[in-house]
Structure 1
Amino acid sequence: MAAATRATKQELAGTYDAAFASYVAAAQTYLFLIRHTVDPETKQRMRTLSAKLVERAERIKRAKKVDQAPVLRDDFVIEQQDAVLANGASFNRLRLERWSERDGGHTVTRSPLPPPNLSRTQIENGCTWTSASKVFPQACIAAETPVESNQGAYIAQDNVSDCSLVTALVVAAEHHRKFGSRLGLSSLFPQDKNGLPTRAENGQYRARLLMNGTWRCLKLAAIDDRIPVDRSGHPICAASRNGKELWPTLLEKAYLTAMGGYDFAGSNAADDLHILAGWIPEHISLRQSLRSEHTWDRVKKGFWMGKCVLTVGTGKSVPQTSELALIPSHSYAVIDLKEDVDGHRQLVLINPWRSGDEQGIWTADMRAALDLGGEGTPSAEHTASAQLMSVDWETLPVYFEALHVSWDPSIFDHTDTVHLSVASSGAAEGTVKAGSSWTRHARRVRLQVEADDSPTQVWLLLSRHSSRSGMKDEYISVYVQNPGQAEASTSTMAPSSEKSSMTDAPSELYRFLPERGRSVYDVTIAHEGQSAVFAFTLVVMSNHRVKLLEGPPPLQHSQEIEGSWTTPTSGGNHTCPSFYRNPQYSIRLLASPTTPSANSRLEIDATTDNGTPINLRLVYSDGERVDRLTGRDVLAGKSTYSYGRDSLVREGLAVGKYTLLVSSYQPDVLGNFKVSVRSSLPLSVSAIPQEGAGMFSRRIEGEWSPATDRGGGKPRFRLLVSGHAEVKIRLQASEGQHAVSVSVHKWGTAGEVGDVVATSDSPVDHPCGALIRSVRIPSTERGYVIVPSLPRQVGTVPFQLFVYADARFEVMEM
């Protein structure tokens, strides 16, 4: 092998650091080949060679001829990514090995797997396992020609809690009926020459599932065709309503075998369809930051072209109407979108729970959910509304909590994928919360985009790897930023679930529009939870050329900060008058002793409670407290607030002082946060004291009114200080947004307003008002005059003055 030969030459030449790294790399390559080699003799030879290479590396290390600095592992090499996928094979105490093409036609000779665990409801109904051919003697696995009516309506969920899975099967069947796509059906094997699942001679079937980064299957065993039936022989599982096709029943059984049994809590259909078919899941909150018109146009176009399928989910409580019989925490399939010439927009939905079929069967769970009791037959109207319904797009958020979209990955011309892991122990980017099993991980990679003139988005799909189903309190996020610039907008946007917010879903989709030309972006992947090792797969997709690259090396200098929002310091976003009260920090970048003219790369992460919106902004303000965001002074950060976590990156910062703002979205939010600041140059971070900290203070209320103006002057306040004093004054309009200014004058000998001592300069209409930052004045017998000014009088306008001084003072209205 070339790597081993190169290592030997480097050792003989005395370049021991390089030789050590080459020996390790060569050994890793052999380990990779061992996992993909079938012949036992070849495996043994490779093990012997690998052991010798490791021994040579250890000898160099023991001889202390290798640099003491750790060798940085290249996580992007195929051997390392292969190891991540290999570690993902263990799931729910099963071995889900990687799928290969020969698995599709391979006849399983071992005994089938034991049947999956039954749910509580199945056990209560006395379910036993019976061959599907006996339950449905006329059924095939999948019909060669889809039926003309709604195929989805022929799949029903019985007394099993997997509504999201059955809904995924419904929309897949409907897509296959319309477009001949074999969506979902292509996951079940064996298959015929047309790619449709067909009957297995030995009655054993295998499913191909996209899990933990790659297509997998239960390699050494398969499922048989036995299905759960109750005491009367009725199937208690997903089934075709007409009993003509078995693929929904068998695919459900295979999926739930991997997931741990029929007592499957369900998630959402987009995540289930991602596992079954590899389609891209997107979760859209219908009650939070919904761009209604844009979302309708986007999903309507995709749906009508066959490029996406849709489901909707209800929340924990639902409004009950005579038109809709909704079930809490339930999934519904969208089988059609309609828009007429008058702009009336509707979704046609199917409830997968069995109701109103040929046998008139309603499940016990269905009755309980709709409060129908155990006796009698529901009315025809109730039956129809419970199974098939139409909902206006505009009223969809009233009844449903989320829209789940599954996108066909073939809509993109270019993709790139990496499989990585971050360990909390011994890893620079993983941290463990002291005294608990809660861990935090962060990993940065770079994304290269070659964007042409077309307005095409780039999508990134982050999927976390899991060792068992139903893992709770595992949160992930992905965020993209151009490290060379800040977001141009200084407007404030409401908290967004799409922008680096933490989600406990198994995957997170991030979409953005790249700049024209060739650009390199920083991608931050974050995790919080109880897993000590965070393994994940990141896929980038676009019609532009895209490539994922190794991120920048860990920065040498860092500092951790713990802070909090309290009643006095929780200022809200920068449209709030109290914005200036938010916690702020001075970041001082120091010159490197070896390269004094070098600029710095700065990375900042902040975490707080997952339900609290947070925002970071880096501002050029010489390390001083700021009360407004001016576009040219904002160096890094975005305008959106994110739940639980935010981050920013900035390249090319010169030595000097900068201000970091950590703000909550709403004022008076109470909570704690942690900030991690990392830099390529030495740095120091310190909290900037609150405005007026350590000073005497007074708040005065007043108003501008036409009567005051007709009286020959503006409101005035006399200021008396005891001794030389440093004074700060802030003026705010209490209602509305008005251009205001404030000034301090000497008091003339005749009682007139004398010369200006200090002023806030020209009137400003910022929410935080006008500020005299600092002025030192001596004590005088007559004192000074504070003049709050409102240049444009528009009725009565109340205001408030905040006066601070480092000596005792008095303020009185004149």
Structure 2
Amino acid sequence: MAKYSKAAKAELEKDFNQAFRLYVKAAEDFLHLSRTCPNSKLRATCKTQAGKALERAEKIKVVKQDLVPVAKNAFSEQEQLFVLQKSSIVNKNHFPMWDERSHDISSTAQPPLSADQVKNAAAWRRLPQTKLVFPVCIRKIPAGSHAILKLGYMSVESCSMEPTGVSADPHRRQITNLSGWNFDVYVNGFETPALAISPGKGRGYDFPGSDSSIDLHALAGWIPEQIEIRSPRFQREKTWLMILDGYTKALSRFRILRPYWLKEREGERLLTIFDPWLHGLDVTNIEMEAQHSRAFHLSWDAVCDLFDSIYLSWDPAIFQHQLHFHGMWKREDIKKGDNSSHVNLRLQSNIEQTDQTEYDVWIQLTRHVVETSRKSEYISLLVHNGGEADLVTNMDALSLKGEYTNCKHILIRTHLSGLNRSLSMIASYDGDSDCNGFTVTVYSHHTMSWIEDSWKALYSKELEGAFTSKTGGGNPTYPTFMLNPQYHLRILPDMQGPTTGRRSAKARTSVVVRGDRHVPMNITLVWSQGERVSEMGHNDVAVTSGPYSYGYVHAAKDLAPGDYTLIISAFEPRHLGQFSLHVDSSHRFDVNSIPQEGAGMFTKVIRGAWAVETAGGSPSFKKYASNPAYELKITTATQIQIRLQLVEPSSTTSLNITLFHATRSAALGTHVVTSGPYSDAISGVVTPRITLQPGKYIAIPSTYNPGIRASFKMIVYSTNAVNVVPIMRT
């Protein structure tokens, strides 16, 4: 009632913005109590009061048309509960949460039967209602005051507790592959294209199945992890050691196609695999079952060659703390046909700043399943800390992260220390749903907390761009990196704040780029004068979005007023497609596209090579005149710029291009312009743009060291057509 009273007071004082905000907040609080309060009379009273608050808010909207919108706090208890309640409706059936007051089990629809079950005239029969309802399991995990909704469509093949509903033939024989619940059993560990572990494959129910790690997550809250063996980032040795360590410490329980045995003996790594449809065996005695004729043994190398994926389940008890966030992916612009949605989250730990130990942090993203008929739904989770944000300048550490998957769960492993106590993450969705729920769970050894930041920019601009065959330059390891779309960002001083220090006050700046989910992208902001950048070092970078990630990248930092070059790049030149650039700032700013090098000029590409007799090196080696030479014939005053690149870039080969004015008094003529000191830049070297008068000029491309045989490409930009011909040596 306190907020309602304050709202009424603000309304009397004609402070309509404050009154409107307080009425809306009061209505939210009353509605929340009407759903959670155990007293039925009090619930009715709260619902009535919520109606009154909303009525007053609506009347204020009529009086004042330009009200300040009331921002929702996604971290509030009400919003968290709203997400869970919305996600509890699956296939239009309501599955109450664990602590929900009413539980009308008769309204729960069972999944359709499979072809084998229909053939045997199977029918559903209901067991006592005190049991759990399949296929959806809803349970409460002690992680604060929220009820956690766990959704999973299960292929439980080896259990010992009767399910709530089972299918039986007319002779009352159970013909499902559900036989109970026992967490000491081993669950499916590997999946092969020839045998998809799914109830819809012949036996079981006719609904989408899942892998065993998802089953255990739904049933017991264990942490699911899928390792793609075919991924280029799969590490065979590291994965074996991780699984062996978890197995021997009893921190992980999984199996291959049912119970398995894992051992390392005399340098040999073996796994024992069992047929999943074996019945009547004592699964508690693995040694006995290993002697069965349907059991077989494989080496770890054979497993990696034969199977596609490994599904692991980890006991969450290995971590002392858990932190949850339930959110909604909402499609931002339906008109543009963009099926993606992204949510940015940040968190921090209470690790002491003096503690330099690196502590493991696991972050799990779970997509809420509300309609099983949807086929094309993909999710992605990108997590990075401050140390990873500089990867774009480290050529040996360039990486791809945030791949999309159609799995319901993603697990990311990272670490924190006293030197770096915060994490940033982007949870992404691409699919047909306009609004879809998700849960992010953080497992850690220290307490963690979300950084609740509701900052809204005062100034925003949005631009459209594209990676094309001419503007897709790839990452900084490519000589074409300079071709990527670049923008001149000028942040203006704050002239409206306090006079003292206002010109030097930093501007909170955020840059977001959205593109196709198949295109990995990166944002890099470089200190400059607003010119196009062809090469950058670690000290040149003001802020980056971190590793290349798919479909969505975000970079944010407090920046001093001044000029910057904003570079948008895809991971490889073959990654093409449209993108949108959105810039927010607390200060006024200008952002404009920087023209490509040589834009609006004639372009002529000359290809050549340094051979044994023409690799003369720099002037220091006294053979400079033997380098390849090209004659430029200028018939009218023309602006010229020349770039020299290696066809196959090499960090050990330094280049230079120098232009001479041909005269009779000197062999090469008089010096006109040069690209500067010899440089091993990946993008090559380039001369400044200068104006040449009519005449003949000689361009000399050279390497610093003589004797280097390599192919090169010389690009001549000119405002008028220029004839360039090689000078033949005699």
Shorter-chain TM band: 0.7 to 0.9
Deviates more, 1:397-406 or 1:584-593: 584-593
Percent identity, aligned pairs only, is 30
Structure 2 contact 88–97 (Cα < 8 Å) conserved: yes
**Which residue in the other structure is 1:813 paired with?**
726
Change beyond 3 A, Cα 1:516–1:399? same
Which of the numbers 135, 138, 145 marks the counterpart of 1:209?
138
Q: Which residue of 2 aligns with 1:443?
A: 343
- Is 1:413 aligned to 2:338, yes or no? no
In structure 2, which of residues 353, 362, 372 is the aligned counterpart of residue 469 of structure 1?
Answer: 372
CA distance in 1, matches of 2:432, 2:125: 41
Whether 1:574 aligns to 2:476 is yes
**Aligned match of 1:789:** 702
SS at match of 2:356: coil
2:263 matched to which residue of 1? 338
Deviation for aligned residue 1:698:
1.3
**Quick check: 1:635–1:650 contact (8 Å CA) kept in 2?**
no
Q: Distance in 2 between matches of 1:268 and 1:246?
A: 16
Task: Go from structure 1 to structure 2 and tell me whether the alpha carbon gap of 1:408 and 1:246 turns closer, same or farther (over 3 Å shift).
Answer: closer
User: Which amino acid in structure 2 is aligned with residue 128 of structure 1?
Assistant: A
Kindly provide the CA deviation profile for residues 766-804 of structure 1, in whole angstroms up to 9, marking residues without a partner as x.
Answer: 3222222x23132243x2221111122345222121111
Distance in 2 of aligned mates of 1:450 and 1:755: 67
CA offsets 1:508-564 (integer angstroms, 9 cap, x no match) = 223322342474444333323222223222222211331013234232333333333
From 238, 243, 250, give the equivalent of 1:306.
250
Residue 118 of structure 1: which of 113, 120, 123 is its match? 113
Report SS of the residue matched to 1:516.
Answer: coil
Letter matched to residue 73 of structure 1:
K
Deviations 1:588-641 (A, max 9, x none): 333444246342233333333333333332222333222223111123335633
1:28 is matched with: 28
Give the drift of 1:91: 0.8
1:584-603 superposed matches below 5 A: 584-595=486-497, 597=503, 598-603=505-510
Query: What residue number does 1:293 align with?
Result: 237
Tell me which amino acid in the other structure corresponds to 2:588.
P
Residue 110 of structure 1 deviates from its aligned partner by 7.0
| SS of alignment partner, residue 418 of structure 1 | strand
Counterpart of 2:463, as a letter, is I
1:278 is the counterpart of 2:273: no
Tell me if the contact between 1:481 and 1:649 (Cα under 8 Å) persists in the aligned partners.
no
> What CA distance in whole angstroms lies between the structure 2 residues aligned with 1:467 and 1:779?
72
Task: Give the conservation status (yes or no) of the 8 Å contact 1:501–1:646.
Answer: no
Distance 1:793 1:780 in 2: 33
Aligned AA for 1:650? A
Instruction: Give how far 1:201 is off.
Output: 6.7
The alpha-carbon distance between structure 1 residues 809 and 5, as it changes in their structure 2 partners (threshold 3 A), is: same
How do 1:130-279 residues align onto structure 2 when only pairs under 5 Å count? 206=133, 208-209=137-138, 214-215=148-149, 227-229=166-168, 235-238=174-177, 262-279=205-222
C-alpha distance 130-633 of structure 1, shift in aligned 2 (>3 A): closer
Post-superposition shift, 1:649? 1.7
Structure 1 length as normaliser, TM-score? 0.74
1:670-696 deviation line (CA, Å, top 9, x unaligned): 433333333333333333222222211
Cα distance per residue 1:133-167 (max 9 Å; x no partner): xxxxxxxxxxxxxxxxxxxxxxxxxxxxxxxxxxx
2:535 — aligned with what? 628
| Distance 1:63-1:623 versus aligned 2 partners, 3 A rule | same
2 CA distance for matches of 1:732 and 1:622? 24
SS for the counterpart of 2:50 is helix
Letter in 2 for 1:577: P
The aligned amino acid for 2:120 is G
Residue 185 (structure 1) aligns with: none
Residue 308 of structure 1: SS of its match in structure 2? Answer: coil
| Mapped pair 1:69 → 2:68 | yes
Code of the aligned partner of 1:627: S
Distance 1:202 1:665, change over 3 A: closer
Partner of 1:180: none
Equivalents in 2 of 1:449, 1:202: separation in Å? Answer: 43
- SS of residue paired to 1:98: coil
SS at match of 1:462: strand
- Secondary structure (helix, strand or coil) at the match of 2:23 reads helix
Structure 1 CA distance, aligned partners of 2:542 and 2:584? Answer: 16
Equivalent residue number for residue 162 of structure 1? none
CA offsets 1:375-419 (integer angstroms, 9 cap, x no match): xxxxxx9x95xx544443345443222222222211212222122
Asked if 2 retains the 8 angstrom alpha-carbon contact of 1:720 and 1:779, the reply is: no
In the other structure, the counterpart of 1:427 is: none
Match of 1:478 in 2: 381
Identify which of 607, 624, 631 aligns with 1:701. Answer: 607
Counterpart secondary structure, 1:560:
strand
* Number of the residue aligned with 2:18: 18
The question of 1:539 aligning with 2:441 is answered yes
How many angstroms apart in 2 are the aligned matches of 1:590 and 1:482?
Answer: 29
How big is the shift at 1:34?
A: 0.9
Compute the displacement of 1:448 (Å).
1.5
Between the aligned partners of 2:112 and 2:168, the Cα distance in structure 1 is 14
Q: How many residues align?
A: 672
Task: Give the C-alpha shift of residue 472 in structure 1.
Answer: 2.5
The whole-number CA distance in structure 2 between the counterparts of 1:652 and 1:15 is: 33
Change (3 A) 1:62 1:303: same
Q: CA deviation at 1:272?
A: 2.6
Q: Aligned equivalents of 2:239 and 2:270: distance in 1? A: 14
Q: Secondary structure of the residue that 2:84 maps to in structure 1?
A: helix
Question: 1:403 aligns to what?
Answer: 310
Check the 8 A contact 1:743/1:758 in 2, yes or no: yes
Compared CA separation, residues 486 and 552, structure 1 to 2 (3 A): farther
Counterpart of 2:223, as a letter, is I
Q: Secondary structure at the match of 1:663?
A: strand
| SS of structure 1 residue aligned to 2:359 | coil
* Alpha-carbon distance between aligned partners in 2 of 1:601 and 1:283, rounded to the nearest angstrom: 38
Please give the secondary structure, in 2, of the residue aligned with 1:752. coil
> What amino acid is the match of 1:265?
P
1:224 and 1:807, CA in 2 relative to 1: closer, same or farther beyond 3 A?
closer
Calculate the aligned-residue CA RMSD, in Å.
3.8
Alignment-mate amino acid for residue 740 of structure 1: L
Residues in 1 aligned to 2:69 and 2:130: alpha-carbon distance in whole angstroms: 54
Task: Mark the CA change 1:201 to 1:581 in structure 2 (over 3 Å): closer, same or farther.
Answer: closer
- The alpha carbon displacement at 1:97 in A equals 0.9
Cα distance change of structure 1 residues 701 and 53 upon mapping to structure 2, 3 Å threshold = closer
Residues in 2 aligned to 1:394 and 1:495: alpha-carbon distance in whole angstroms: 28
Pick from 672, 680, 683 the counterpart of residue 765 of structure 1.
680
1:511 pairs with 2:386: no
Secondary structure in structure 2 of the residue aligned to 1:719: strand
1:31 Cα offset (Å): 0.9
Residue by residue over 1:107-141, the C-alpha shift from the partner in whole angstroms, topping out at 9 and shown as x without a partner, is: x9976966531113432x32424879xxxxxxxxx
- After superposition, the C-alpha distances for 1:220-244 in whole angstroms (9 at most, x for unaligned) are xx9976644568987543156xxxx
Say yes or no: does 1:717 pair with 2:616.
Answer: no
Distance in 2, matches of 1:81 and 1:389, equals 48
Amino acid at match of 2:523: L
Question: Which position in structure 2 is the counterpart of 1:192?
Answer: none
Write the deviation string for residues 178-216 of structure 1: whole angstroms up to 9, x where unpaired.
xxxxxxxxxxxxxxxxxxxxxx77896546435998246
Match of 1:655 in 2: 561
Inter-partner Cα distance in structure 1 for 2:174 and 2:128: 23
Supply the distance in 2 between the matched residues of 1:432 and 1:213 (Cα, whole angstroms): 32
Distance in structure 1 (CA, Å) of the matches to 2:704 and 2:449: 56
Aligned residues of 1:492 and 1:639 also touching (Cα < 8 A):
no
Alignment correspondent of 1:679:
585
Which amino acid letter does the alignment assign opposite residue 115 of structure 2? R
* Mapped partners of 1:416, 1:502: distance in 2: 23
Is the deviation greater in 527-536 or in 274-283? Answer: 527-536
Cα displacement (A) at 1:574 = 2.0
3-state SS in 2 of match to 1:766: coil
The match for 2:657 is 742
> Counterparts of 1:278 and 1:110 in 2: how far apart (Å)?
23
